[in-house]
Structure 1
Amino acid sequence: MYFNQANFDIRCEWGQQGIEQLTAISDVVIIVDVLSFSTCVEIATSRGATIFPYCWRDHTAREFAQTIDAELAEKRGTSRYSLSPASLLQIDSGTRLVLPSPNGATLSLATETTPTLAGCLRNCRAVALAAQHYGQSITIVPAGERWPDGSLRPAFEDLVGAGAIAQALTGQFASHLNGRLSPEAQAAVAAYQSVQSNLFDAIQQCSSGRELVEIGFEQDVALAAQINVSDCVPKLVNDAYINCNSER
């Protein structure tokens, strides 16, 4: 296939098609949804919570949460927990939380049996370190957002997050990996390098960041823009994310 980047060790492709084209030939998949699914998952699992991705923000989410004896993250500002990283800063260890997201959660549940990690700027180095234990074929999937017509909107912050992870892979693990980045992964690295000296400003000023700031969630943007502040590695196990670094 022309589109699966199979000639390269470290690949990068957007959204659902990235999952469908690359997962079957990958040793591990890293889902990157910086604003805000992956950042929420990192913060919550770093505190010992278990996060259940869920695709839909409707009545079925509550029904699903009830069937697995879990709490439900709801709309920002309307409940204790939501798709707001700040709402999860004090989450209790052992909490079981259903986290609906049309992007990061949906992609997480589409990888079938391929090992799946949640990556963001906060844990990019830790996720890169963990990913190389699964093998040499590593796929990074920036989630992106959705336009009103349902089509994919490539999101700047997810491209930057993917680039941070790809750079960490090639920079630290060249002795283990061949380290050959696809052109798509190289472009992600270039995007990250172009803003790494002023990361917060760039994330705050991109479309997704401006949206959150304008509705009062600047703290979420600030949390998402922090780089390498966590060694948490959320891994999808039985359709739920847990911190696999806590097992080591």
Structure 2
Amino acid sequence: MTSDQQEFDIRCEWGLRGAEVLAPVCDAMVVVDVLSFTTAVSVAVNRGGVVFPYRWKDDSRIAFAQEVGAVLAGPRGTGTYSLSPLSLRSVKSGERIVLPSPNGSTISLATGNTPTYAGCLRNARAVAIAAMRHGPRIGVIPCGERWADDATLRPALEDLIGAGAVIAELHGTRSPEAMAAVWAFEGAAASLRETIGACASGKELIERGHPEDVEIACDLGADAIAPWLVGGAYMAA
């Protein structure tokens, strides 16, 4: 299969299908959803929390949260935990949270038995170091967003930049797709807040009244612990 980038150690592909293609042929996977799933996971795990990704936003999430003994995250701005990284700054050590999302959660749960990490700008170096312990073949997945009218993939600039931040810390030969992510990161590194705040996803969050979430997401290197998916939950690697 030409799309698995098998000639290279470090590989990069978009979205759910990209994860399904790369996971079987990689030693570790890194899921990148900067605004905001993997940033939220990083904030929570670095405070000692345990985060369960969940695919669905229907009532089945309530039963799942009860089953695993976790707090169910709600919508942004409701005074409880949510996909807002700001809301997760109050997580207590050992607290368990179910965090549904259509992109980051879904893709996290699609990597099978391949060791999987939640990567973002905040933890790029920590995640790269942890992923390389599993072997040289690393797949990095910028999740992207979904178009509202037909749910098809919309490549998201912030995820490409976040993927590039992780790849820049990885050792090994890089596919052209991986190099493109590094170029995006290097081009934006001096102005992360301005660039991500002005891209489509950043503008949407700011217009909805969540500028702090963009600020938190752009804090490069702020988190020293890599969130590792073990037994269906992200926890400290």
What interval of TM-score do these two structures reach, taking the shorter chain for normalisation?
over 0.9
Q: Which amino acid aligns with 2:105?
A: A
Please state how far the C-alpha of 1:79 moved relative to its aligned partner: 3.6
Alignment of 1:111-130 (within 5 A): 111-130=111-130
SS in structure 1 opposite 2:74?
Answer: coil
State the distance in 2 between where 1:79 and 1:141 align.
31
Q: Which amino acid aligns with 1:16?
A: L
Alignment of 1:28-107 (within 5 A): 28-107=28-107
Q: 8 Å contact 1:73–1:79 — kept in the other structure? A: no
Q: 8 Å contact 1:27–1:137 — kept in the other structure? A: yes
Name the counterpart of 1:205: 198
Report the count of equivalent residues.
236
Alignment of 1:207-222 (within 5 A): 207-222=200-215
Please state how far the C-alpha of 1:189 moved relative to its aligned partner: 0.4
Q: 8 Å contact 1:236–1:242 — kept in the other structure? A: yes
Q: Which amino acid aligns with 1:165?
A: V
Name the counterpart of 1:180: 173
Name the counterpart of 2:227: 234
Name the counterpart of 1:133: 133
Q: 8 Å contact 1:123–1:233 — kept in the other structure? A: yes
Please state how far the C-alpha of 1:80 moved relative to its aligned partner: 1.2
Aligned-residue CA RMSD (Å): 0.7
Q: Which amino acid aligns with 2:71?
A: E
Residue by residue, what CA displacement relative to the aligned partner does 1:165-216 show, whole Å, maximum 9, x if unpaired? Answer: 111114xxxxxxxx21000000000111111001110010010000000011
Alignment of 1:159-174 (within 5 A): 159-170=160-171
SS in structure 1 opposite 2:83?
Answer: coil
State the distance in 2 between where 1:185 and 1:93 align.
35
Q: Which amino acid aligns with 1:194?
A: G
Residue by residue, what CA displacement relative to the aligned partner does 1:94-129 show, whole Å, maximum 9, x if unpaired? Answer: 111000001000011111100000000000011111
Q: Which amino acid aligns with 1:106?
A: T
SS in structure 2 opposite 1:196?
Answer: helix
State the distance in 1 between where 2:79 and 2:23 align.
35
Name the counterpart of 2:3: 3
State the distance in 2 between where 1:20 and 1:105 align.
14
Q: Which amino acid aligns with 1:28?
A: A
State the distance in 2 between where 1:90 and 1:66 align.
21
- The TM-score, its normalising length taken from structure 1, stands at 0.94
SS in structure 1 opposite 2:63?
Answer: helix
SS in structure 2 opposite 1:65?
Answer: helix
Q: Which amino acid aligns with 1:56?
A: W
State the distance in 2 between where 1:155 and 1:112 align.
24
State the distance in 2 between where 1:223 and 1:150 align.
27
Name the counterpart of 1:12: 12
In structure 2, the gaps of 5 or more residues are none
User: Taking structure 1 as reference, are residues 218 and 83 closer, same or farther at Cα in structure 2, changes over 3 Å only?
Assistant: same
1:190 to 2:183 alignment: yes
State the distance in 2 between where 1:36 and 1:45 align.
14
In structure 1, the gaps of 5 or more residues are 171-178
SS in structure 1 opposite 2:5?
Answer: coil
Q: Which amino acid aligns with 1:123?
A: N
SS in structure 2 opposite 1:169?
Answer: coil
| Matched-pair identity in % | 52
Name the counterpart of 2:158: 157
- The TM-score, its normalising length taken from structure 2, stands at 0.98
Q: Which amino acid aligns with 2:226?
A: V
State the distance in 1 between where 2:225 and 2:154 align.
28
